[in-house]
Structure 1
Amino acid sequence: MTYCVAMRLNRGLVFMSDTRTNAGVDNFASTRKMFTFTVEGERNITLMTAGNLATTQAMISLLEERTQAADDRDPSILSQPTMFQVARLVGATLKEVISYSAPGGPASADAFGASVIVGGQIAGGKPTIFLVYPEGNFIEVSEDTPFFQIGETKYGKPILVRAFDPDLTFEDAMKLLLVSFDSTVKSNLSVGLPFDVHLFEDGQFDASRRGRVEVDDPVYRTISTGWGEALKTALDQLPAYKITSDEV
């Protein structure tokens, strides 16, 4: 499985993805699910993928190949004028890959399904994020929906809903995401470390703020342990619910 999150803050964008793949209960491996396309000073685009691994790898390969191929093999993700057009291209490419992977039509397409988060900024536009569906259509972040998740979303969503604030610093956003990912890791074996991270500040067209949170990362370990202890403390401080004889 997979867990990926992208958030839009007032100061920029934050992306985080796990790296675990699952081909059965006894066959876990790691593979990258975050990909960046950068032109210094002009554009910074990040993709995160979830779903059928063959589908997502073929889609990324097509997008990467078309950034390097001859003009007659365009369109290229690096030549799109706006992030909206980038999302359209990613959606069309995803739909293309699914269609030739599943010649049996919709009935067989589910086995090759995938979803994508694509976000970033192109000079002259604002930083934004899109959630792309297997059918190729997509939606954009808004004030009401300031973050997107794909993959195993249910375990990590409650903390994001309760604690997200667009004024978060990158440091606090990282802390929030690590708690969300830690909750998911502890609830589902198909999500696991390392976590890939990309922090993108509004107007800064480079890929320098990228990194990976490893299994033995001391800050992650401190956050994981501290969050568990904080939950226990908070539970102890809540009032006990006393059941009366009439309620039994």
Structure 2
Amino acid sequence: MTYCVALKTNAGMVFLSDTRTNAGVDNISKYKKMFTWEVPGDRVITMMTAGNLAVTQAVISLLQENIDKPQEGIDTLLNADSMFRIAEIVGDAMRVIQNRYGRNIAQAGESTLSSIIVGGQRAGGEMRLFYVYSAGNFIEAGEDTPFFQIGEHKYGKPILDRVITVDTPVDVCVTAALLSMDSTLRSNLSVGMPLDLSVVARDELRFAQKRRIDDHDPDYLALSDAWSNSLRNAFLEMAQLSISQSDQGTMS
């Protein structure tokens, strides 16, 4: 399985993905699920994938092949004139791969369901974030929904719902994404380290941060431990409050 999360606020964008893929308890592998393209001053793009690995890898390969071997009349991620057009290109590639392999995969009893998050900014345009479905159609993040998740999203969603708004600063978004991932890692064995992180500040048209976080990353471990301690202390405070209220009720 997998877990990927992307956040878009007025200040910037944050993308985070795990790298675990499993086809049963005895067949666990690591595969990169985050892909980035950057032309400083012109555009910055991040893409994250979930679902059927063969399908999503083929989609990424097709997109990259069109960049490496451009053909007249075919738009690519690096020459498209808007982020909306980039989302369309990703959707088109998804349809091509689904049509090419979908029937045979289904006949073999496997699911072709796949999803892709793509976001970024192009010079002269706004930051935009899209969720592309298996059929190639897509939706866009907005003020009421400033983040998208794919994969095992349920464990990491509560903190995002409570913290993230369109006015959240980028550094807070990074913390929220990491804690969302930490909650998922602790509750679901099909999601695993290392993690890939990319950060884009509004209108900078380059990556402010792009790195891999492994099991021994001291900053991540400190954040995880601090979050666990904070939750534990908050629970104890709530438990004491509950006991105090119960005592008052008995005395009266």
Runs of 5+ in structure 2 lacking a partner?
247-252
Residues 87-106 of structure 1 aligned to structure 2 (within 5 Å): 87-103=87-103
AA matched with 1:151 = G
User: In the aligned structure 1, how far is the partner of 2:108 from the partner of 2:45?
Assistant: 31
Deviates more, 1:206-215 or 1:175-184: 206-215
Letter of the 2:129 partner, please give it. Answer: I
Per-residue displacement from partner, 1:195-233 (whole Å, max 9, x unpaired)? 111111111122352111111111111121121121121
Contact 2:16 2:196 in 1 (8 A): yes
Q: Which residue of 1 aligns with 2:249?
A: none
Cross-structure match for 1:177 = 177
CA–CA separation in structure 1 for the residues paired with 2:216 and 2:39 = 33
Distance across 2 between alignment mates of 1:142 and 1:175? 21
Q: State the Cα deviation string for residues 124-144 of structure 1 (Å, max 9, x = none).
A: 110010001111111111110
Instruction: Give distance in 1, aligned partners of 2:220 and 2:47.
Output: 24
Indicate the SS of the match to 1:102.
helix
Aligned-residue Cα RMSD (Å) equals: 2.0
Aligned to 2:242: 240
Structure 2 partner of 1:84 = 84
Maintained 8 Å contact 2:201/2:208: no
TM-score in terms of structure 1 length: 0.91
Q: Which amino acid aligns with 1:169?
A: P
Aligned: 1:45 with 2:45: yes
For residue 39 of structure 2, what is the amino acid of its counterpart?
V
Number of residues of Structure 1 aligned to a counterpart in Structure 2: 242
Provide the residue aligned with 2:250 in structure 1.
Answer: none
Contact 2:146–2:165 (8 Å) recurs in 1: no
Deviation above 6 Å: which 4+ runs of structure 1?
A: 105-110
**CA separation in 2, counterparts of 1:211 and 1:86?**
24
What is the CA–CA distance in structure 1 between the aligned matches of 2:180 and 2:81, rounded to whole Å?
Answer: 34
Measured after TM superposition, the shift of residue 167 of structure 1 is 3.1
Counterpart secondary structure, 1:6: strand
1:8-45 deviation digits (Å, cap 9, x = unpaired): 12111111111111121122221111111222211111
Residue 245 of structure 1: aligned partner: none
In the alignment, the residues of structure 1 paired with residue 94 and residue 154 of structure 2 have an alpha-carbon distance, to the nearest angstrom, of: 24
Q: 2 CA distance for matches of 1:85 and 1:109?
A: 34
Contact between 2:34 and 2:196, CA under 8 Å: does it hold in 1?
A: yes
Quick check: 2:82–2:122 contact (8 Å CA) kept in 1? yes
- Contact 1:120–1:127 (CA<8 Å) still a contact in 2? yes
Shift of 1:169: 2.9
Aligned partner letter, 1:229: N
Instruction: Give the letter for the 2:67 counterpart.
Output: T
- SS of residue matched to 2:68: coil
Aligned counterparts of 1:40 and 1:173: Cα–Cα separation in 2:
23
Alpha-carbon distance, 1:165 to partner = 3.2
2:36 maps to which residue?
Answer: 36
